[in-house]
Amino acid sequence: MNSTSPKIDRSSRPVIRQLDEAAINRIAAGEVVERPASAVRELVENALDAGATRISVDYADGGKTLIRVTDDGCGMTADDLPLALSRHATSKIDGSDLLAIHSFGFRGEALPSLGAVGRLVITSRAAGHDAVALAVTGGRMGAVRPAALTKGTVVDLRDLFYATPARLKFLRSDRAEAQAICDAVRRLAMAEPSVGFVLRDVSGGGEGRVMLRADPVDGPYLEALQGRLTQMLGAEFTDNALAVDVARDGLRLLGWAGLPTYSRGSSVAQYLFVNGRPVLDRMLAGALRAAYFDVLSRDRHPAAVVNLLCDPARVDVNVHPAKSEVRFREPEAARGLIVSGLRGVLAQGAQRASSTVGDGVMAAFRPKPGFATARVYQMDRPSGAALARGRAFQAPSMERPGFAEPPVARVEPDAGGGDRPLGAARAQVHENYIIAQTSTGMVIIDQHAAHERLVYERLKRQMADRGVAAQALLIPEIVELSPGDCARLLEAAPVLATVGLGIEAFGGSAIAVRETPAVLGLVDAAALVADVLDELADQGVSALVQGRIDAVLSRMACHGSVRSGRRMGADEMNALLREMEATPLSGQCNHGRPTYVELSLHDIERLFGRR
């Protein structure tokens, strides 16, 4: 039978041979440098480790033909340059403890890898030394030569992957690669608010086009980060984000979390850092989503920039050559801090309505095309007596022939409370929307959505006080599993028991489901166990059962809340407003929709040309 294996010819005994240095470097480059954005990230991280305060990045043709990174860091000497281009040579660690890493880089692979697959020239000058340069082309190193440079380092990388042309076929379009470079620089700029960044596209020569500029921001970390995020993500994000500063068990979470009503259709606005290092970690991303579970629908994603700080010995960053993955010694503690910390922050500030909601209302109120939009200048204000006579003359007469009373809103007497955050109820329109007056404008409340959130929070408090009632199965359901799945599920059994799911070993790799949460009613225990196992395998913990319980409570709250179409009196409306002000997360309903929109007096006056 002929072998169809594409790997090696087994007709003769394979010979073990030592690869040459050039092949070793090209193989290593495939791990470290996946695309131009990877090269930019490695070079910018080197600049940050060198203490740079300003970093400039130029690229051409999506980084395929040119990447140039210029910094004002400490620089290198003539003796340093050849070492820097040798594999596994680094100034970041001494090799004695791979868990005491305080720098971005530490593996000593980036520069030799880049030199192995491209045309690399490094020009550098250290304080008290002359400037020098060194070139590496396809892994062949030249001689150190004198150069002209005032300070810092310039790394010039041309023709990336020219020595491994097969890799070029897997690169995307220039535009896509340029976008990846911009994203890499943006993440590093968020990690270091006190460092200035400039990113230019110099395709075609000349000064090029500035794609990103971030000026240094000084001050306490949270304030500096807020300023940097305004530069990177826009004022809309920072205007609709809450400051995060929580600590527990030696871990600290800092950053800014977007309001639930300021959500996105994908996870593109989520930026996660560990000790200032940008990471792509499924566990952290899952924890972020779990923190917003109660306030967002499944098709929406939170916007957040958070930095998890911990002792470097508690996190392993040496998981992958790209250093974008990390492994925590105590993942449950890290996940728990993110979930509980963000939920606490949201509970304190989620009564706020996102400014984007009000902006949307303003946009809907804009005059339609064809209507005059020129500014109306007001005449001098007439006297009170003249105003009274004018109003009396213009008032519709109820006795006029053919006059029909139009439907009007229910106007309630002044009950005070205008100085409260949600003001005092003034009217109910369409038997669903409450109009309230505040000291600075007006608020429109969706009475059903608001009461739905209030009832939901009340039900959750009751369940937390009484615990989740478990319903014993008359005949336990036996579920056969693989040995690994069985061990994983039994390890999580104590946690699952707290939410009413009782399981125990049944011999071999089978488990017996003896109890299910009573609030869920009839449950397919095998399917529930399978879903829990999927979540355990993906994130290490499972909140699926609690999520299903919360979904039932949410449906109960929806059916038990004030319905649309119900007429409410002034006392009822004001009582609803006061309860909203005292209830966490009342700024949005259970499905993530806003419960109210706020319009400032300034905005209202702009609608009528008074501003």
- What does the pLDDT read at residue 554? 74
Q: Do 194 and 232 reside in the same domain of the chain?
A: no
Residue 61 DSSP one-character state:
G
Residue 256 DSSP one-character state:
E
Q: Do 460 and 325 reside in the same domain of the chain?
A: no
Provide the domain limits for residue 147.
21-214
Which residue, 16, 20, 146, 31, is CA-closest to 81?
146
Q: DSSP alpha helices (H): ranges in 102-199? A: 110-117, 165-168, 174-191
Structure tokens at 339: 């979930």
The CATH number that applies at residue 508 is 3.30.1540.20
Would you tell me how many other CB atoms lie within 10 Å of the CB of residue 327?
A: 13
pTM for the whole structure: 0.74
For 493-543, how does the pLDDT look when each residue is reduced to its tens digit (9 = 90+)? Answer: 888 888 888 999 998 889 999 998 887 778 788 888 888 888 777 666 677
Structure tokens at 325: 């993955």
Q: C-alpha angle 529/530/532, rounded to 5°?
A: 65
- What does the pLDDT read at residue 376? 40
- What does the pLDDT read at residue 339? 92
What total number of domains does the chain contain?
3
Given 197, 214, 231, the domain boundary residue is: 214
Q: Do 487 and 567 reside in the same domain of the chain?
A: yes
Q: Do 245 and 207 reside in the same domain of the chain?
A: no
- What does the pLDDT read at residue 373? 44
Q: Do 572 and 449 reside in the same domain of the chain?
A: yes
* C-alpha span between 605 and 3 (Å, rounded): 81
Given 349, 382, 402, the domain boundary residue is: 349
Kindly give the parts of the chain with pLDDT less than 70.
1-11, 25-31, 89-103, 105-108, 320-322, 349-418, 538-541, 552, 555-556, 559-564, 611
Q: Do 201 and 225 reside in the same domain of the chain?
A: no
Q: Do 110 and 230 reside in the same domain of the chain?
A: no
- What does the pLDDT read at residue 536? 78
